[in-house]
Amino acid sequence: MPSRNGFAESGTEKIDLTNLTPAELESFIQHLGKERFRARQLIKWIYRAGCRDIGEMTNLSQEFRKELGRIARVGFLPVETIQVSADGTKKALFRLADGETVETVLIQEKNHWTVCVSTQAGCAMGCTFCLTGASGFRRDLLPSEIAGQVTALRFGTPEGPSIKNVVLMGMGEPLLNYDNTLKAIDIMTSDTGLGISKRRVTVSTCGIAPMIRRLGEDLPVNLALSLNAPDDDTRDRLMPINRKYPLAEVLGACRDYPMPLRRRITMEYILIKDVNDSPEDAEKLARMVKNVRCKFNLIAFNEHPGCDFKTSPPERVDAFRDILVKHNYTAVVRKSKGRDILAACGQLRGRS
């Protein structure tokens, strides 16, 4: 077990350095009686060189490498399989140390790749349109397992060097695994580590209102709200979390979220045929969010086995968008990628 200082002692399980934020790694190194800059050297070896063997970190003394190797290790999240969609989207399956699995998606943009990261194995939210939620919640991911998805793809795929954006929109609710999610973002955005700009990190939530406010205080990265309904009755049916945090409370938290002047909160809206896709729904939605600085990502529902919902027809999606634009919102119809390999929004599930 770790000591009361949080670091492994002789005869206990080795501490995984990839679970430590840069600040925690500095503290760990100082705990060993070494200079703080050794932590920066370690971070660069792990996240810039992709080194997994402490013995190969050649700008550390041989004596220190041996000492460190006795009490610490560099964790690694191996890619078990990668599926490739007809549109070029890639879905990676990761098997965790305890046998649990999570899925991560690589999405090709014009000049770079975006990686859609999972924060939990399964999901407890129970959204009725989501395949991930149908599989149930199994456990939270560690910081090493969240950031490790990006690290593994960075060094294990040809697309890795071109990963520029990270969206925490995969399996799970990030704000219910709050501390581990923030630690993972810290690791991913460290200047000496993966070096991903905080401006290019987006956290997506079903609407955990108190945690939206806390995120705004602690680390105001880009925020996306999975909205999906223009009123509480509809959202209650689609997203059970709305019964605990209804729209007025969630939108109030979004209204207070400290986004820079030129950026907007993204409202993700999945259009389900005859459920939330009528012109009347669009008008209600436009009025409901009028005091929130936001933009819309409109996503036609991705059908999947076991769900009776149907995808809104393209003409209805376009009409919905046009109404929002008429009300002076930026509204984009997001093309679903990876449907043929169950890699699109709401389709991730992991598997044994």
Q: Are residues 141 and 276 in the same domain?
A: yes
Q: What percent of the chain has pLDDT over 90?
A: 83
Is residue 110 a part of any domain in this protein? yes
Which of 29, 51, 73 finishes a domain?
A: 73
Residue 176 has pLDDT above 70, yes or no: yes
User: Which domain does 116 fall in, by range?
Assistant: 79-341
Report helix, strand or coil for 168: strand
Q: Are residues 67 and 143 in the same domain?
A: no
H-run or E-run covering 211: helix 209-218
Per the prediction, the chain carries an average pLDDT of 92
Total count of domains within the chain: 2
Q: Are residues 21 and 35 in the same domain?
A: yes
Is residue 8 a part of any domain in this protein? no
Which pLDDT band holds residue 131 (cuts at 50, 70, 90)? confident
Q: Are residues 199 and 292 in the same domain?
A: yes
Catalytic residue among 116, 123, 130, 345: 345
pLDDT value of residue 132:
87
Annotated active-site residue 345? The verdict is yes
Q: Are residues 66 and 88 in the same domain?
A: no
For 240-267, what is each residue's pLDDT tens digit? 999 999 999 999 999 999 988 789 999 9
pLDDT value of residue 7:
45
Is residue 216 a part of any domain in this protein? yes
Two structure tokens written together for 328: 């002076």
For 3-40, what is each residue's pLDDT tens digit? 433 444 444 689 999 999 999 999 999 999 999 999 99
CA distance 182 to 174: 9
Q: Are residues 226 and 136 in the same domain?
A: yes
Is residue 1 a part of any domain in this protein? no
Residue 235 has pLDDT above 60, yes or no: yes
Q: Are residues 50 and 87 in the same domain?
A: no
Segments of 210-293 assigned E as strands: 222-226, 265-271
Which of 30, 50, 73 finishes a domain?
A: 73
**What does pTM read for this prediction?**
0.93
Catalytic residue among 24, 103, 145, 268: 103
Q: Are residues 184 and 126 in the same domain?
A: yes
Q: Are residues 120 and 26 in the same domain?
A: no
Is residue 90 a part of any domain in this protein? yes
Is residue 328 a part of any domain in this protein? yes
Residue 351 has pLDDT above 60, yes or no: yes
Residue 2 has pLDDT above 50, yes or no: no
Which of 55, 73, 91 finishes a domain?
A: 73
Annotated active-site residue 13? The verdict is no
pLDDT value of residue 134:
83
Two structure tokens written together for 272: 């389900």
pLDDT value of residue 207:
98
The mean-pLDDT minimum among 144-148, 220-224, 343-347 falls in 343-347
Q: What is the CATH number of the domain that holds 309?
A: 3.20.20.70
- What does the buried/exposed string (b/e) look like for 160-190 if buried means 16 or more CB atoms within 10 Å of the residue's CB? beebebbbbbbbbbbbbbbebbbbbbbbbbb
Segments of the chain assigned E as strands: 15-16, 72-73, 79-84, 90-95, 101-108, 113-116, 120-122, 137-140, 163-168, 201-205, 222-226, 265-271, 294-300, 331-333
Q: Are residues 279 and 214 in the same domain?
A: yes
Residue 289 has pLDDT above 80, yes or no: yes
Q: Are residues 44 and 125 in the same domain?
A: no
Is residue 108 a part of any domain in this protein? yes
Q: Are residues 48 and 157 in the same domain?
A: no
Q: What is the CATH number of the domain that holds 65?
A: 1.10.150.530
Is residue 350 a part of any domain in this protein? no
